[in-house]
């Protein structure tokens, strides 16, 4: 089986997917923008070939890379990056080389928030009111209809980039020039906490693993305040969240893929869908999957790809939490104090890649416990400001 893995070196933990594919007996072919010599030794050791494309936004070069692989190794069976940034180019390559998986015609529903809302409605899942706003007059009219405060964000955007809370018309006028060249979506601002429905589907679309995470604050609020991010996984998924998540996974036709669905839990308990991502959650969440379940989700995905069958059942055994700290912020407790107090809960810790710094912090801690409260205490201690 010939598997092309796009950008196997970033995010840094994704080399584990390539290693898992190799253990399943696949021929693993990498395309990336880093020099081969710069790849970590473990990754170099499992790649059967690596094709260097200095600018992976150059589709012609990506096409040539897959053409070379086809000439040398035969038909390509899968093309995957598991990365939202390359979702569109992955789909184009699959179309041009007749490879199983998401094709270009499916991309709008997976990338455009306006299209996601249509599918939320079709699935009967509550979601924020809103619509595309092509210009400032349209934005003002929409905000007047929805009522301030509102949220404005790119229709096709990754993470919380260029997402803004807008309290009034004056602030809307200030923000609008920053949106030049983008299709913007405006929606009502919902109060509440963010929770997710995350997991992995098999070849037939059945969910073979799922979990949920609860966030301390939304990524948008964190970026606006330049604060810290923290979140934790649960052992028992709320019934309404799992029901809504399963509806959307089926409606979006998720097959042989990870998924990351974001919801708002309103103060009154109502659940509202925010957006969907057909990839693993960001940062170190893949590793949190593994620590929470004493499992290997990298291998579970590779098993599905290589054998077309689900892995062994995966059980949620622990709560697992992430806390990030930023170099530009001051904390009451030192790293050594945090380790001394919570070292027994610490599954992993270390510097984060510079590209993750703004979102995930410059130093990250992953903790796990059979009970939730010790993790909440640890998150508060580690991130307590000076």
Return the C-alpha torsion angle 334, 336, 341, 344, nearest 10.
140
Tell me the pairing of strands 230-233 and 193-201: unpaired
H-helix or E-strand spanning residue 270: none
- Is there a domain that residue 99 lies in? yes
> 165 and 86 in one domain?
no
Q: Tell me what pLDDT residue 224 has.
A: 66
Q: What is the pLDDT of residue 219?
A: 64
Percent of the chain having pLDDT more than 90?
90
Task: Specify if 118 maps to a domain.
Answer: no
Q: 34 with 144, same domain?
A: no
Does 183 lie in the same domain as 280? no
Boundary (domain end) residue, out of 188, 209, 228:
188
CA atoms of 29 and 6, how far apart (whole Å): 8
Same domain, 27 and 135: no
Q: Does 86 map to a domain?
A: yes
366/278 same-domain check:
yes
Q: 87-96 and 59-73 are packed helices; what angle lies between their axes, rounded to 10 degrees?
A: 50
Same domain for 309 and 209: yes
C-alpha–C-alpha distance, residues 34 and 139, integer Å: 41
- Do 237 and 357 fall within a single domain? yes
Does residue 296 lie in a domain region?
A: yes
Model pLDDT for residues 214-237, shown as the tens digit of each residue: 998 766 666 666 789 999 999 999
Verify that 340 and 295 share a domain, yes or no: yes
Rounded Cα distance between 178 and 43, Å, is: 40
Specify if 49 maps to a domain.
yes
113 belongs to a structural domain: no
Average pLDDT over residues 267-282: 94
Q: 139 lies in which domain range?
A: 129-188
Task: Give residue-wise pLDDT tens across range 298-311.
Answer: 999 999 999 998 88
Q: Which of 103, 120, 139 is the last residue before a domain boundary?
A: 103
d(CA 137, CA 297): 48
Percent of the chain with pLDDT over 70: 97
Domain assignment present for residue 123? The answer is: no
Look at the chain and report how many structural domains it folds into: 3
For residues 238 and 337, state if they share a domain: yes
Band (pLDDT 50/70/90 cuts) for residue 16 is very high
Mean pLDDT of 175-182: 90
Any residues with CB less than 8 A from the CB of 319 and at least 6 apart, and which?
Answer: 232, 233, 234, 235, 292, 368, 369, 370, 371, 372, 375
pLDDT (tens digit per residue) in 98-145 = 999 999 999 999 999 999 999 999 999 999 999 999 999 999 999 999
Is 267's pLDDT higher than 70?
A: yes
């Amino acid at each position: 089986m010939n598997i092309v893995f796009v950008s196997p070196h970033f995010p840094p933990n994704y080399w584990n997917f390539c290693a898992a594919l190799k253990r399943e007996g696949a021929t693993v072919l990498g395309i990336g923008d880093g020099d081969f010599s710069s790849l970590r030794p473990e990754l170099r050791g499992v790649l059967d070939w690596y094709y260097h494309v200095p600018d992976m936004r150059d589709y012609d070069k990506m096409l040539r890379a897959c053409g070379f692989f086809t000439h040398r190794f035969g038909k390509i069976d899968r093309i995957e990056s598991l990365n939202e940034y390359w979702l569109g180019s992955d789909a184009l390559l699959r179309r041009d080389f007749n490879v199983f998986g998401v094709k270009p015609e499916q991309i709008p529903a997976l990338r455009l928030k306006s299209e996601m809302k249509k599918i939320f409605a079709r699935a009967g899942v509550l979601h924020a009111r809103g619509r595309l706003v092509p210009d400032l007059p349209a934005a003002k009219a929409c905000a007047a209809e929805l009522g301030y405060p509102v949220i404005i964000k790119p229709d096709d955007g990754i993470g919380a980039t260029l997402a803004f809370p807008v309290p009034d018309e004056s602030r809307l006028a200030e923000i609008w020039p920053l949106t030049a060249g983008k299709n913007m979506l405006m929606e009502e601002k919902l109060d509440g906490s963010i929770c997710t429905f995350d997991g992995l589907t098999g070849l037939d679309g059945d969910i073979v693993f799922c979990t949920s995470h609860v966030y301390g604050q939304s990524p948008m609020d964190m970026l606006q305040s330049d604060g810290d991010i923290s979140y934790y996984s649960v052992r028992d998924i709320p019934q309404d969240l799992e029901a809504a998540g399963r509806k959307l996974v089926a409606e979006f036709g998720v097959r042989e893929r990870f998924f990351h669905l974001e919801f708002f839990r309103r103060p009154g308990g109502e659940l509202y869908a925010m957006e969907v991502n057909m990839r693993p959650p960001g940062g170190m969440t893949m590793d949190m999957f593994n620590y929470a379940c004493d499992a290997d989700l990298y291998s579970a995905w590779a098993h599905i790809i290589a054998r077309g069958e689900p892995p062994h059942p995966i059980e949620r055994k622990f709560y697992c939490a992430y806390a990030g700290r930023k170099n530009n912020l001051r904390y009451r407790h030192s790293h050594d104090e945090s380790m001394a107090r919570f070292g027994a809960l610490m599954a992993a810790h270390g510097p984060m890649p510079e590209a993750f710094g703004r979102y995930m912090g410059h130093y990250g801690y992953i903790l796990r416990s059979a009970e939730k409260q010790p993790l909440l205490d640890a998150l508060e201690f580690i991130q307590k400001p000076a």
